[in-house]
Amino acid sequence: MELLQGRIRDYAWGSRTAIAELQGRPVPSDGPEAELWLGAHPGAPATVDRDGRPVSLTELLVAEPGHWLGERLVGRFGTRLPFLLKVLAADAPLSLQAHPDAEQARAGHAADDGRVNYVDPYHKPELLVALSEFEALCGFRDPAESAAVIGGFGVPALEPVVAALRTGPAGLREAVRALLSWPETERAGLVAAVLAAATAGPASPDAALVRTLAAGYPADPGVVVALLLHHVRLAPGDGIWMPAGNLHAYLRGTGVEIMAASDNVLRGGLTPKRVDVEELLRVLRFEVLADPVLRPERVAPGVSTWPVPVEDFALHRVTVSAGSPGARLTLPGPRVVLCRAGKLSVDDGVGVVTLGAGQSAVGTAAGGALALAGDGEAFVATCGLR
């Protein structure tokens, strides 16, 4: 193992405290810090030290793919790290968005060559595990419930949307199309009418959500689209699994996120960026997501995971205490380790590093079983190949 230096992304919705506190830096930070990237994504690759010079992980993978990735990973994913580990810290809502499946991404990228919607040929399933209380919108809820909420606002212009939702899941597509195709000149009036009803009516989580979203997006029909989705509040340790085609948005909180390394995003509102309604409708899964929340599963003393059905990544949480024998994980390489709290030694049989809170390390496929000792908590990211 060797120390890995991550890269911070300064998106406007980011926190000025969460990542700085994790890394032990002064707060507030100079500007918003939205994500800490720990991987080899070309947009912001993490680095390792080589003779006093930072060298990007991307560069090392290309130069020595067999050493870093191993033959099996190269055969399956090519000379790239298939996953990206992040710390995500949201002080404001992210855009409503969905991601294509693998076939859609390949076909879309071949068709538009990265010029419109598909910047790469890869899918982008995501798993987020809450580090703090975390609030999100994820997946369609029962359309009858959404019809009752939207209908209860008593906005006449929304009656066709409510009627579509009352037909069940089959009406979800029609409802989303109608909202995202709302005439530009009438969008501010629509949101204002819904906001007025939400403010004047009885207190409810849905009314509070409208007030929060309308404050930032007063002319965005995504404020109403949000009411079609599950509104979940995670406790630390709870996870959200977002496979392809599920509309979602992270609203507030800090979490560890792992995803397939891709930039393919189709937006559905709550953003000034382009919304391709037809392509989004083609990609979305218009079905009710029964329960978007994953609870951790214990797989060994002090070790838990959130099982997801992809080969690109897997995530484990390891907790060890002083005086204990520590934890030993037999996981496929390469591995990225993030120390969440405390102080830990991490040994893959090739090298040993000591990590404090907010520090990370990376090991190659040449490493053996991963041994963690000390007193603290870490997240370990690997590929999901078995």
Q: Residue ranges for the binding site?
A: 97, 99, 126, 248
Question: Which three-class secondary structure state does DSSP give residue 293?
Answer: strand
Tokens 């060994």 correspond to 300
Question: Annotated catalytic, 267?
Answer: yes
Strand 239-242 to 293-294 pairing: antiparallel
Task: Answer for the pair 22, 357: CB distance below 8 angstroms, yes or no.
Answer: yes
Task: Spot the catalytic one: 267, 317, 335, 340.
Answer: 267
Please give the Cα distance from 117 to 264 (Å, whole number): 7
Supply the DSSP string of 71-130, one letter for each residue: HHHHHHH-SS-SEEEEEEEESSPPPEEE---HHHHHHHHHHHTTSSS-SSS----EEEEE
Q: Measuring CA to CA, which residue among 204, 261, 212, 255 is closest to residue 234? A: 255
Please give the Cα distance from 291 to 298 (Å, whole number): 20
Could you list the residues known to form a binding site for Zn(2+), using ranges.
Answer: 97, 99, 126, 248
Task: Answer for the pair 240, 294: CB distance below 8 angstroms, yes or no.
Answer: yes
DSSP, res 42: T
Please give the Cα distance from 180 to 57 (Å, whole number): 40
Catalytic residues: 267
